[in-house]
Amino acid sequence: MPSTPLDESRRTTPHSVGESFRIKMVQTLQKVPYDVRASALREAAYNVLRLPRERVYLDFASTRGNAGMTDRQLSALMIGDEAYAGSANFYALEQTCRDLFGKQFTVPTHQGRGAEHLILRGLLRPGQTVATNGNVLTLRPLADALGLRVESLLSSDAFDPSSKHAFKADPPLAKLKALLEGGRVHLVVLGASLPMLGGQPLSLEALADCAALARRYRVPLALDASMLASAAYLTLTNRRGGDTLSALIRRYADLCDVLYLSGREDATCHTGGLIATNHEELYVTFRSLVVVYEGLHTYGGQAGRDMQVLAQGLRDMLDESYLAFRTRKLAYLARHLAEAGYQVYQPLGLSGVCLDAATAPIPGLTEPARSDEPGAARSANLAALFYLVSGIRLRPTPTAALGGRLDLLGVFVPRRCYTERQIDYLIESLAHLRKYRIATTLQIRDRDPVAPELTRYRVDGPFITEYHDDFRPTYTPEPYFMKVVEPCRLKPAAERATAIREAGYNTFLLRSEDIYIDLLTDSGTAAMSNKQWATMLEIRESELGSEASSLFLERCREVLGYRHFLPTHQGRAAEHLLSQAMISQGQYVINNMYFTTTREHQERAGGVFVDLIRDEAHDPRSPHPFKGDLDPGKLTDFIAKHGPQTIAYVCVETNVNMAGGQPVSMAGTKEISAICRYHRIPVIFDATRIAENAFLIKTREPAYADWTIGEIIRELMALGDGCTISAKKDVLVNIGGILGVNDPALFEKCAALCATFEGTPWSGGLASRDLAAMAVGLDEMTEYDYIRSRVEQVQYLWARLKDAGVPVVEPPGGHAVFLDARAFLPHLPQEEFPAQRLAAALYEMSGVRGMERGIVSAGRDPATGRHRGSKLELVRLTIPRRVYTYSHMDVVADGVIELFRKREALKGLRMVYEPPMLRFFTARFELL
């Protein structure tokens, strides 16, 4: 039996608010084994900031330049106008600064420090002083290089981890006034948020006060707006009043003479910066410097594409629902770290969570250093220990450079990058850290001449007591992080009500933009990986003898094992070709239940559809682990009654969709295959969900527990003579299908049909890039960590619903959770379309789109013209692959549970329009 991988205490997780985005592109995460971590740490001289990225599993050391881009930023990359002068992208950036900040003049720079350089050089002479609350890490070395002095403008509150002051970036006004009065400051630079302290914000009031002072003494004021959206959002949540986020941003911007930023923080770029101002004489100063140090004033050291990405990122950073989600996510992290015994720096900003290293509950850290030489900060010791134990990098952040005495360990959370499960993994690893003891603390070996934070350490003895590989997290996190995301949001209830009414209560007729979480289908909805995208870009488009075709065929043969393959534009096309090639008029086709398009093509080819699935498949309550299996007794009887020659083939669907994503077993399929081989009846798999089925065989059929997913797939496929596949599911692509057979004569027939209906037999009517994406997807689907996290996410949603008493099809399948609409709405007769009604109501309740799988999908009997009726009356909630996170699953679960409480109020539907075939796609209904 399947075991749900959940532990009771975590089942009601706190993520009832979902992200304001879904995942569009993922990148694989690699775990780093202990031995490799240990040697990498030694090579990095025990300073985690010296570790190469590929030696780090999860990287929480910085929020700079490592965010997941939005899909619009990704497309902005593609509209780079790489002109030397007057690039269209520059004008897009300039317009964005006018719209967002109200600044007329914009000077692009290669990064934030490029902007800082021009500002310091342009506005100060050697020997003069800049006063700042902010970014000393980049400002101080620049000031040193230019012969300038730096005055810190941080208040004592900033160094008090328990002070509740909401705006710890606010400078001490009296100090600033004294400095200005004494003529000892010539430029004021204020950071809108302080990343080193977790993103502490600067208040609008403090900025206004400083601006008034600076004006009085005729000293220019520059605002570092790299995290201005964060600061403005925290201001919004701390005050009452009618300002919108963009209005507040504008008010901050209005108070400074010069605004500058790094695109690598709130604007989620990987490079790029800018200076913006309304003062023409300042602009002229920067413009004459930018050409010397950065690039021409209309590109300033950025590629055209990067300016476009920055322009887009600045607009995307106004997404308030993302900032709200991030706030909650960081609060969740902080709460759990506090529970694990760490003192958390308060209040939280929007960069991450800082822990007080001085009070961290780790044995050994409190021991005095053994040599006279000063030891490394505790945060450096802690970060080294944590990396060694978990492979996760945090950032040691002693605040001496800021003029304080705090020693913080920064958990900086990259934007739109890691999922909750990965955050949970971090939390559990930090709690687990207490099991270790630092045996010998780090000593400073030599300071780095370029960057003080890159100091090398040595350890005069063993660093930690023995390592035990005993960390068992509650969940296995997804084996990928988010590379590109796509915004999605919940529309207001009234708009959802209108949308579903206008869609005739058919979720197929809703517009995607009206949906928050789209569980209509797992078909073509997967997030592709960076590797798939890279291969797509690499491949040459060619209709003849395409290299993509060779790659595709090679992976098909390796993963699926048949001799001949054809690509098709999608699954139903493969079904079309195969049905036409194999079925003669009046022949039976045996199936394990049915899939709509499969059955349609069998019948159109003259076949007589027969369902011989085992009886448990029709019972949503039966916990049988392999409800997808054909019933061998029924098959034998059928053959005995009709004769084997009357049967065109037996079609075995893996992870039977219409039965609730229920798998077939290896043992059961072997039995069916043996019967068919004996009678010379071909077996054709619908292997659309073969990887999920293989995972369920591995976890439910003990004989295969030690087999790899790839081995199970090959073993299963070897029981058949061919397959059709909709590659839009397990193969992780957005378009594509596969037809595979062993028999060369059958292949010839299919290839000829392919040329007629699809395209050349080596392209199947697909672009070469789509063949390439399928080739990579075939490999990715067999990776154990991936398929496990995929199926476990489905099981998680299932378990939450089941625990709340919602009637769901049992046991959980591989790709979807099916609600039993008959049991959910027992007061509605099937003629009132209970599943159709439930799907529509769920959309209205929570913006979640599911699909009817019941009497509407079953269609009408062509002979009698009556509804075919359907034993199962289900709503399918299908989870797209690598797209949604656990917090999205919680939103879905909460919505269904709420609806279940209110179920009695739901009335049935009347069908008011019915198309002649596949009616579920376009039928329309009205409320009774």
Site residues (vs ligand PLP, CB under 6 A): 523, 570-572, 595, 597-598, 653, 657, 686, 688, 726, 728, 737
Q: If 0-12 CB within 10 Å is exposed, 13-18 middle and 19+ buried, where does residue 433 land?
A: buried
Q: How does DSSP assign 394-459, residue by residue?
A: -EEEEGGGGT---EEEEEE--TTTS-HHHHHHHHHHHHHGGG--BSS--EEEE--SS-GGG-EEE-
Of 265 and 721, which has the nearer Cβ to ligand PLP? 721
Q: Confirm if 279 and 215 have CB atoms less than 8 A apart.
A: no
3-class DSSP assignment, residue 498? helix
Pairing of strands 608-611, 588-591: parallel
Of 770 and 832, which has the nearer Cβ to ligand PLP? 770
| Torsion on CA atoms 310, 312, 315, 321, rounded to nearest 10 | -110
Of 313 and 813, which has the nearer Cβ to ligand PLP? 813
Task: Please state, in angstroms and rounded to a whole number, the distance separating the CA atoms of residues 401 and 357.
Answer: 16
Of 535 and 598, which has the nearer Cβ to ligand PLP? 598
Task: Please state, in angstroms and rounded to a whole number, the distance separating the CA atoms of residues 22 and 85.
Answer: 37
Which residue pairs from 497-504 have beta carbons closer than 8 angstroms and sit at least 24 positions apart in sequence?
497/844, 499/843, 500/840, 500/843, 500/844, 504/912, 504/913, 504/923, 504/924, 504/925, 504/926
Of 197 and 526, which has the nearer Cβ to ligand PLP? 526
Q: Least distance in Å: CB of 686 to ligand PLP?
A: 5
Of 438 and 773, which has the nearer Cβ to ligand PLP? 773
Q: Least distance in Å: CB of 395 to ligand PLP?
A: 46
- Which residues share a beta bridge with 59? 393
Q: Least distance in Å: CB of 735 to ligand PLP?
A: 8
Q: Least distance in Å: CB of 847 to ligand PLP?
A: 23
The conformation of residue 315, written as its DSSP 8-state character, comes to H
Task: Please state, in angstroms and rounded to a whole number, the distance separating the CA atoms of residues 314 and 115.
Answer: 16
Q: Least distance in Å: CB of 726 to ligand PLP?
A: 3
Task: Please state, in angstroms and rounded to a whole number, the distance separating the CA atoms of residues 50 and 453.
Answer: 9
Of 117 and 849, which has the nearer Cβ to ligand PLP? 849
Of 305 and 601, which has the nearer Cβ to ligand PLP? 601
The conformation of residue 512, written as its DSSP 8-state character, comes to G
Q: Retrieve residue 868's tokens.
A: 């075919």
Q: Residue 172: is the preceding peptide bond cis (ω within 30°)?
A: no
The separation between the first and the last C-alpha atoms of the chain, rounded to the nearest angstrom, is 42
Amino acid at 515: I
Q: Least distance in Å: CB of 731 to ligand PLP?
A: 10
Nearest C-alpha neighbor of 657 from the set 603, 707, 723, 725: 725
Q: Least distance in Å: CB of 668 to ligand PLP?
A: 18
Q: Least distance in Å: CB of 878 to ligand PLP?
A: 9
Of 306 and 730, which has the nearer Cβ to ligand PLP? 730
Which residue is it, tokens 């378009």? 735
Q: Confirm if 725 and 552 have CB atoms less than 8 A apart.
A: no
Of 263 and 859, which has the nearer Cβ to ligand PLP? 859
Q: Least distance in Å: CB of 674 to ligand PLP?
A: 24
Q: Least distance in Å: CB of 838 to ligand PLP?
A: 20
Q: Retrieve residue 603's tokens.
A: 């019948």
Q: Retrieve residue 724's tokens.
A: 């059709």
Of 110 and 815, which has the nearer Cβ to ligand PLP? 815
Q: Least distance in Å: CB of 574 to ligand PLP?
A: 8
Measure Cα distances from 524 to 520, 521, 840, 878 in Å.
11, 8, 22, 12
Quickly list H helices, 683-743.
690-700, 709-717
Task: Please state, in angstroms and rounded to a whole number, the distance separating the CA atoms of residues 268 and 68.
Answer: 7
Q: Least distance in Å: CB of 556 to ligand PLP?
A: 16
Q: Retrieve residue 306's tokens.
A: 């990067």
Of 276 and 750, which has the nearer Cβ to ligand PLP? 750
Q: Confirm if 351 and 412 have CB atoms less than 8 A apart.
A: yes
Task: Please state, in angstroms and rounded to a whole number, the distance separating the CA atoms of residues 892 and 885.
Answer: 11
Of 134 and 737, which has the nearer Cβ to ligand PLP? 737
Of 224 and 730, which has the nearer Cβ to ligand PLP? 730
Of 15 and 853, which has the nearer Cβ to ligand PLP? 853
Shortest-Cβ-distance residue relative to ligand PLP: 571
Q: Least distance in Å: CB of 689 to ligand PLP?
A: 7
- HEC per residue, 814-840: CCEEEEEHHHHCCCCCHHHCHHHHHHH
Question: How many CB atoms within 10 Å of residue 88?
Answer: 14
Q: Least distance in Å: CB of 595 to ligand PLP?
A: 4
Task: Please state, in angstroms and rounded to a whole number, the distance separating the CA atoms of residues 524 and 287.
Answer: 49
Q: Least distance in Å: CB of 655 to ligand PLP?
A: 8
Of 471 and 609, which has the nearer Cβ to ligand PLP? 609
Q: Least distance in Å: CB of 648 to ligand PLP?
A: 17
Of 597 and 763, which has the nearer Cβ to ligand PLP? 597
Q: Least distance in Å: CB of 728 to ligand PLP?
A: 5
CA dihedral sign of residues 302, 305, 311, 315:
negative
